[in-house]
Amino acid sequence: MSPEQKKFMKNIKINKIKIMFWQLFIIITFFLIWEILVNTGVLSAFIYSSPSRIIKTILDLIKDHNFFIHIYITLKEVLISFIIGTSLGFIIAIILYEFPFLAKVMDPFLTMLNSLPKVALGPLIIIICGANTKSIILMALLINLIVSIITIYNGFLQTDEYRLKLFKTMHANKRQILFNLVIPSSYQTIISSFKLGIAQTLIGVIMGEFLVSKQGIGYLIVYGKQVFNLHLVMSGIVLLALISYILYKLITILEKKLLKHI
């Protein structure tokens, strides 16, 4: 390795460290300032809580053996609706792609469902499914399904026309074109739809938990609000932020593995 190349590689590393430093700096300063403002009485501890109080609340939750149950419940609901939503979305996208006439017919309905605020359906869902986990999962499903369908379907439509022509000149049948070309071409879009989907699912699950739940992080937040324990509300928000970041990161890892060569 030439000295210039070494320097170049070193610069990349230094840059990475710099970015991490500033990310940590921002988060630590944010929590520090928050803590100081509350402790000096500038902000009310009752309303704004504080990082130390949040940590204490979370430790109490762990001590009461409730902490992991709430996280487990929320994660379970997220995963179930995410898996159902993306698989259904994937299948429906294939059907729309294979039957362009159907896709044209369905277009206005999909657009309508996409822009409809699904939370408006909340009361209806509760009446139909009852005040239980089913309602929460259905809520989240309605939110992520439409996005999955539209994203994946549009990905299929982006298939390179030269590659399509190539397959046709090879006399490939519809199934071969779908599995050997259209789906692999859309790996990138499918992963993007996962990223969108996981965020949408979290929104749906928390919304559902706000409406009906007896457990879960959404429940913690609503319960905290009802008893005016804002430390609990803040803890819920912090936990949610962590969970959504971790879920997103997991998909990014999957993306790196799947899209190594593209």
Partner 1 sequence: MNNIIKIDCLSKNYHTKEGEIEAIKDFNLEIKEGEIISLVGPSGCGKSTLLSLISGLDKEFKGNITFKDKLKMAYMLQSDALLPWLTIYENAILGLKINHDLTKENLEYVDYLLKLYNLEDFKNNYPKSLSGGMKQRLALIRTLAITPDILLLDEPFCALDQQARLLISDDVYQICKKEKKTVILVTHNIEEAITFSDRVIVLSKRPAMIKNIIPINMANNSSILERRKDSAYQTYFDMIWKDLEYES
Query: What does the binding site for partner 1 look like in residue numbers (CB under 8 A)?
Result: 160, 162-163, 165-172, 176, 180-181, 184, 187, 261-262
Contact 56, 232 (CB under 8 A): no
Least distance in Å: CB of 252 to partner 1? 19
In the numeric block, which tokens belong to residue 67?
A: 């902490």
Which one, 167 or 210, has the nearer CB to partner 1?
167
192: enclosing H helix or E strand: helix 187-212
25-31's contacts with Cβ under 8 Å and 24+ in sequence apart are none
Let me know: does 157 contact 182? Beta carbons within 8 Å. Answer: no
- CA distances 73 to 70, 134, 190, Å, are 5, 12, 26
CB closer to partner 1, 13 vs 261: 261
Which of 107, 160 has the CB closer to partner 1? Answer: 160
CA–CA gap between residue 192 and residue 180 (Å, rounded): 20
Nearest approach in angstroms of CB 172 to partner 1 is: 5
Q: Give min distance, CB of 40 to partner 1, in A.
A: 57
Q: Which of 246, 261, 251 is nearest to 74 (CA)?
A: 246
Cβ proximity to partner 1: between 144 and 159 the closer is: 159
* Nearest-approach distance from CB 189 to partner 1, in angstroms: 13
CB of 95 to partner 1, least distance (A): 23
State which residue, 134 or 163, has the beta carbon closest to partner 1. Answer: 163
Q: Which residues contact 240 (CB under 8 A, 6 or more apart)?
A: 202, 206, 217
Residue 192 and residue 184 in contact, taking contact as beta carbons nearer than 8 Å: no
Q: Which is nearer to partner 1, 183 or 205 (CB)?
A: 183
- How does DSSP classify residue 118? G
Tell me the three state secondary structure of residue 158.
coil
Q: In angstroms, rounded to a whole number, what is the distance separating the alpha carbons of residues 244 and 143?
A: 16
Please, what is the minimum distance in Å from the beta carbon of residue 104 to partner 1?
16
Cβ at position 183, least distance to partner 1 in Å: 10
Specify the residue, 68 or 179, whose C-beta has the smaller distance to partner 1: 179
- 245 closest CA partner among 195, 191, 190: 195
